[in-house]
A = this chain, B = another copy of it.
Amino acid sequence: MKVLIIGGVAAGPKAAAKIVRMKPDAEVTIIERGVFLSYAGCGLPYYVSGEVKEQKDLMSTPAGAVRDAAFFRNVKNVKVQSGTEALEIDRAGKRVHVKILATGEDAWLTYDTLVLATGASPVIPPIPGVEKKNVFTLHAVPSATTIKTMLATEKVKDAVIIGSGLIGVETAEALVAVGCNVTMIEALPQILNMLDWEMARFVEQHMVAKGVCLLTSTKALALESDEDEAVVARVKTEKESILADLVIMAVGVRANVDLARKALLEIGTTGALKVNDRMRTSDPDIYAAGDCVECVDRLTGRPAFLPLGSTANKQGRVAAINICGGDEKFPGVLGSTVCKVFDFCVARTGLTEKAARQLRYDIVTASVPGPDKPHYMPQAKSILMKIVAERNTGKVLGLQAVGPGDGSKRVDVAATAITAGMTLDDLANLDLCYAPPYSQAMDNIITAANVARNKQDGVMDGIPAEAVHEKLEAGEDFVFLDVRSPQEHAQVRLPKTTLIPLGALRKRLGELPHDKEIVTFCQASLRGYESALILKAAGFSRVRVLDGGVAMWPYEKET
């Protein structure tokens, strides 16, 4: 069996290794356009920041062996031709036309099975000046190394990042770490479009606190120069021109499907390569895996383009098993994502509120802030969490978690729960590990499920911060009731509030009007909820609880 694999970064080498393990006689060859093999692309921002010390760390095994062509030959029994570009697939002849870049020589390589692991490439937006010097993407080892060298040898004061996805925010942290003034430009009204806007807002506030100049709803119009026309010096936007010794283009990636398209393989609606759940393309002898393919969203059944190293590895394994005569399915993805943004862990899985509403789900959401460990433990850190579930069935649809606390654990639990079709009730009674150094007795995700259940059952009538903010902006006449302690109120306040601490509320009911709406809140919302119940029991009819309390108020607060 002769297997030819195009692409040597993640899915390709994974498939190759697994094929050779399953069929030791298989003749497996990897064609890679670049020089570097099997490297950790997701580690590049940490290489730029200096956290990862050496380039070779990104392409070594845990035991310290560099995964080069000799490694693949001796250890894996896989032949690798790097610096070799695939030009064309001859499906009828089952062969691939390749060019050796160094010499310009070409050749035809035959295959019994072909695997396309061609990856994705950064999108370069059509902005005048993108070709100038010191304008980079951060996608592969060479660009990372160039950026790192430039940071080490030239005076780079001002850096501008265009785009605010995963690579954008991770690079922002890396560039701040090495001492740059960093400006991030995003055309949309929020960063990290994978989050609901208010969740993204908390991340934005953190980035600003860490010194990043953030320009949302801002388009980069051109990259301008000073004396030297070839070198970037400024990024022009509608509002201003921003100094830029260095520009990183991070507006997203696009699947590399030219080769497949030319070979008339089916392309999906997302623009990535279409495969079935066996990772087979429309040609039964051609498989594909990794960043070049389109996935299925496990929750909605819709096509999704979510290129990630985790998915690439799993798909490479699935493709290999099927190529070797096994029967393995890749069931799809949920959009589980995590990234570190300075001191924040930003994680999500499944659907955001926005996505769920667009898909016309009837939903209930709960916004629940809280420490990731009991508050009395010195290492406790806060997580702002938002859960989305289907109203009728209680089926969990999504979870977002941002903050310094360990949100990735809770999002992984949610991803598992969503995969299993669990409901809020199921989540609420999960037997999760508890000890003070690791978690609260009622884990954050359990509390989130319980709050959502209270809303689902109509026991708690929540109101999103956005709706309250609109009321305030419109000058609407309602009581915005803070039931925290006077000390908490003195520290930080929401606008135009009335303070009656929960412990005094039963005695001071007379101070509240029966003819106005009352919106209650506290720091998180338990006391806000309890006060709403007290008010309802006392005959107040229009009482709602601010979702997420002070902790998750995304607008300005008074201090």
Contacts and interface: CB of A to CB of B under 8 A. Distances in A.
Interface of A: 10, 21-22, 24-25, 40, 42-43, 46, 51-52, 57-58, 60, 62-65, 71, 74-77, 166, 170, 298, 308-314, 317-318, 329-340, 345, 347, 349, 370-371, 374-378, 406, 408-409, 411-413, 415-417, 419-422, 426, 428-439, 441-443, 446, 450, 459, 484-485, 487-488, 502-504, 506, 522-524, 527, 529-530, 533-534, 536-537
14 contacts: A21-B459, A21-B530, A43-B436, A46-B437, A52-B376, A60-B375, A62-B375, A75-B503, A335-B431, A336-B432, A340-B437, A406-B406, A412-B432, A415-B430
Among A314, A375, A377, A416: residue with most chain B CB under 10 A: A416
Given A75-B503, A310-B441, A485-B65, A429 B46 contact: no
Given A43-B376, A345-B437, 10 more contacts: A21-B533, A42-B434, A52-B376, A76-B530, A336-B431, A340-B438, A347-B433, A408-B409, A416-B420, A420-B421
A42 B435 contact: yes
Secondary structure at the A interface, as helix, strand, loop or mixed, is mixed
Nearest to A24: B537
A37 to B, nearest CB: 15
Contact of A339 (B71, B312, B409, B435): B435
A439 B10 CA distance: 16
A8 B386 CA distance: 31
Among A376, A406, A530: residue with most chain B CB under 10 A: A376
B433 A336 contact: yes
Among A408, A488, A536: residue with most chain B CB under 10 A: A408
Contacts of A298: 431
A442 B318 CA distance: 13
Contacts of A413: 412-413, 416
Given A371-B62, A377-B51, A435-B339, A503 B415 contact: no
A409 B298 CA distance: 22
B438 A408 contact: yes
A559 B93 CA distance: 57
A523 B65 CA distance: 13
B25 A537 contact: yes
B442 A313 contact: yes
